[in-house]
């Protein structure tokens, strides 16, 4: 039932399960199937978007033609606001807080035993999306602010290796999760849902409180990842997949010089087992 419900549309109740990424993948699959069917002469309503019984009425109760008419390519989303690359394999709403906490941990060389509690305030859309407050699986950990911050305190990294059932269930991880206080902060709420405002306070045993705040995530157009940072993420992914290191490094060099490459088929070879 959980899978078939997702066939009709993405539902947040599937967050923290295998079916969450199915939402986006199935939508993309449907788009390509629609193109193939249209090419074969398959028919459908030609006013399906704006019709009285169409998509905009059903999904939004109406629409504003001025928001979309004559706007194609003005701008292209790839140019503005630009591409976002996720540095961590978790829900993107966790990323501003993760990046800020990692900065605090590294700059102060914090050890797990020094941390008494971490308060992280956000808007209610973030708290109701990252709703696995006591995760027990790697998939639930992807949608748990508590887990995402805990693993950074413990290991200073959050890659594919960290989002496994075994790591999430470790006693030290579960204990650290209990030190994270994730709540709706009025200031973050007032900042608006177009931001992912995350307000952090790290309480230490020596009485100090280290504060931090982030509006956008590392990897977003306003705070982009460097090529080397993206390459490091790629290395982590290929290492998790037990990919040959030689092919990994060759692919990184190839892509860095992509515009000078005479033949793209060489890249396909590098990315094929």
pLDDT winner (highest mean) among 75-84, 123-132, 218-227? 123-132
**Pseudo-torsion of CA 20, 25, 31, 35, nearest 10°?**
-150
pLDDT tens digit sequence for 89-148: 999 999 999 999 999 999 999 999 999 999 999 999 999 999 999 999 999 999 999 999
pLDDT band at 160 (very low <50, low <70, confident <90, very high): very high
Tell me how far apart the alpha carbons of residues 258 and 6 are, in angstroms, rounded to a whole number. Answer: 38
pLDDT tens digit sequence for 239-270: 999 999 999 999 999 999 999 999 999 999 99
Segments in 144-226 forming alpha helices (H): 145-155, 165-168, 171-177, 186-190
Tell me how far apart the alpha carbons of residues 142 and 133 are, in angstroms, rounded to a whole number. Answer: 11
Tell me how far apart the alpha carbons of residues 49 and 51 are, in angstroms, rounded to a whole number. Answer: 6
Which residue, chain included where needed, has tokens 């413990």?
Answer: 154
pLDDT the model gives residue 273: 75
Tell me how far apart the alpha carbons of residues 241 and 235 are, in angstroms, rounded to a whole number. Answer: 10
Report the pLDDT averaged over residues 69-78.
91
Tell me how far apart the alpha carbons of residues 255 and 258 are, in angstroms, rounded to a whole number. Answer: 5
Tell me how far apart the alpha carbons of residues 250 and 233 are, in angstroms, rounded to a whole number. Answer: 15
CB atoms within 10 A of CB 94: 29
Which residue, chain included where needed, has tokens 């709403």?
Answer: 93
Which sign does the torsion angle of CA 174, 179, 183, 187 carry? Answer: negative
Rounded to 10 deg, the angle between the 227-240 and 245-256 helix axes is: 150
The answer to whether the beta carbons of residues 183 and 127 sit under 8 Å apart is yes
The answer to whether the beta carbons of residues 179 and 150 sit under 8 Å apart is yes
Tell me how far apart the alpha carbons of residues 253 and 233 are, in angstroms, rounded to a whole number. Answer: 14
pLDDT tens digit sequence for 45-71: 999 999 999 999 998 888 898 888 899
């Amino acid at each position: 039932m959980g899978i078939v419900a997702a066939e009709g549309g993405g539902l947040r109740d599937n967050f923290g399960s295998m079916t969450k990424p199915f939402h986006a993948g199935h939508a993309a699959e449907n788009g390509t199937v629609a193109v193939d069917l249209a090419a074969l002469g398959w028919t459908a309503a030609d006013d399906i978007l704006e019709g009285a019984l169409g998509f905009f009425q059903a999904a939004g109760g109406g629409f504003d033609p001025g928001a979309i008419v004559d706007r194609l390519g003005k701008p292209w989303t790839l140019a503005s606001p630009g591409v976002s690359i996720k540095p961590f394999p978790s829900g993107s709403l966790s990323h501003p807080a993760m990046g800020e906490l990692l900065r605090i941990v590294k700059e102060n060389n914090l050890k797990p035993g020094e941390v008494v509690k971490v308060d992280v305030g956000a808007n209610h859309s973030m708290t109701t999306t990252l709703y696995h407050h006591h995760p027990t699986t790697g998939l639930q950990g992807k949608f748990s602010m508590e887990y995402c911050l805990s693993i950074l305190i413990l290991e200073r990294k959050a890659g594919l290796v960290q989002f496994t059932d075994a790591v999430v269930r470790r006693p030290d991880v579960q204990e650290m999760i209990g030190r994270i206080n994730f709540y709706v902060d009025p200031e973050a709420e007032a900042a608006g849902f177009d931001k992912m405002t995350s307000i952090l306070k790290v309480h230490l045993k020596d009485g100090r409180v280290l504060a931090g705040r982030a509006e956008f995530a590392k990897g977003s157009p306003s705070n982009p990842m460097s090529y080397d940072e993206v390459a490091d993420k790629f290395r982590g992914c290929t290492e998790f997949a037990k990919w040959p290191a030689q092919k990994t490094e060759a692919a990184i060099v190839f892509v860095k010089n992509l515009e000078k490459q005479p033949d793209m088929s060489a890249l396909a070879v590098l990315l094929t087992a």
